[in-house]
Amino acid sequence: MERSPRPAVFDFHGVCMTEMVTNNWDNLQNFEARPDDILIAAYPKAGCTWVSYILDLLYFGHMGPDRQTSIPIYKRVPFLEMANPNLPTGTEMTNQLTTTPRIIKTHLPVQFVPKSFWEQRCKIVYVERNSKDSAVSYFHFNHMNKSQPDPGDWSSFLEKYIEGQVMYGSWFDHVTNWWEKWQPYSHIHYMSYEDLSLDLGQALDRLCSFLGLSPSAEEKEKLAAAVKFDKMKENNMVNYSTVPIMDQKISPFMRKGKVGDWKNHFTVYQNEMFDQGHKQKMKNSTLKCIARINHFNMTKKLPLSSPQDL
């Protein structure tokens, strides 16, 4: 059987993209957000599925077991910009949702988010993950997901990642541009993968407070148990095992779920090169590391530091 070729990235308004996003561009840009829509935004591999599942349980966990056992997460929380041939687009899937609020996922850089989300003042949850773990996770994901560009070997992928020559462009631009937007836009909750890993309970409390939700202690406990890595890994409705284009034998979607896995991949040289690039690209940003900032605010103990230390 002939293998379908991997898509190529190309420059699209200054950001590396593939046709999977640009195919549906006009519909995407004209998407009509509703005031109660909730957008989960993140650079790829930052923990979007984790946060999607948390939000789905917070809003719809009470709806009975059918939703949880028969509807995969990508149908409950559509991927807004997705436009794979022969499949419903993300905008169509979102418009077909019958539940309210609509929870929607995107990896779009902030400048590409359809303007209706800003006009309607929708709540937006931005999830950041430290750049090194994101790179490692993205590398494995690109291997197993045939709709992604071929990552090549680890060292050439890492070089492309630093230069933003991967799908969705530069991690540095993504997180810093969203961070800048957060400052004036109070409807964005900026959180991190590391927040969730370090202290799920506190991260949940902050998220609920932003969303205006007050689940009971029992509900929170139940939710925290359901969203543990091992539980999600074995849950076919959230582990993407129902998506044929992902070859989970190459690498499972729910791969390691750890902070600091980059240490198992980076050589000393790659680490130095990455730190240099990181320093250079982040030099004009006030963003340090949101996990530490949040943790610092909560405990007043940890020093502010760079994400590389995680």
Residue 13 bears catalytic tag: no
Q: Where are the beta strands (DSSP E) in the chain?
A: 10-12, 15-17, 38-42, 103-106, 123-128, 188-192
In the complex with ligand PPS, which residue's Cβ is closer, 235 or 270? 235
Q: Go through 15-38 and write b for each residue having 16 or more CB atoms within 10 A of its CB, e for each that does not.
A: bbbbbbbeebbebbeebebeeebb
> In the bound complex, what is the minimum distance in angstroms from residue 47's beta carbon to ligand PPS?
5
Q: Which H or E run includes 144?
A: helix 131-144
> In the bound complex, what is the minimum distance in angstroms from residue 258's beta carbon to ligand PPS?
6
Residues 6+ apart with CB under 8 A from 228: none
Catalytic residue among 13, 107, 189, 295: 107
* Burial tier of 43 (Cβ tally within 10 Å: 0-12, 13-18, 19+): buried
In the complex with ligand PPS, which residue's Cβ is closer, 141 or 182? 141
> In the bound complex, what is the minimum distance in angstroms from residue 225's beta carbon to ligand PPS?
11
In the complex with ligand PPS, which residue's Cβ is closer, 22 or 120? 22
Contact 212, 39 (CB under 8 A): no
Quick one: CA torsion of 262, 266, 268, 274, rounded to 10 degrees?
-80
Q: Is 145 helix (H, G, I), strand (E, B) or coil?
A: strand
In the complex with ligand PPS, which residue's Cβ is closer, 119 or 150? 150
In the complex with ligand PPS, which residue's Cβ is closer, 120 or 259? 259
In whole angstroms, give the CA distance from residue 268 to residue 206.
Answer: 37
Where residue 121 falls (left for φ over 0; alpha for ψ -120 to 50; beta otherwise) is left
> In the bound complex, what is the minimum distance in angstroms from residue 256's beta carbon to ligand PPS?
4
> In the bound complex, what is the minimum distance in angstroms from residue 15's beta carbon to ligand PPS?
16
Strand pairing class (103-106; 38-42): parallel
Residues forming contacts to ligand PPS in the complex (CB under 6 A) are 42, 44-50, 133, 137, 140-141, 227, 229, 232, 254-257, 261
What amino acid positions are annotated as catalytic residues? 107
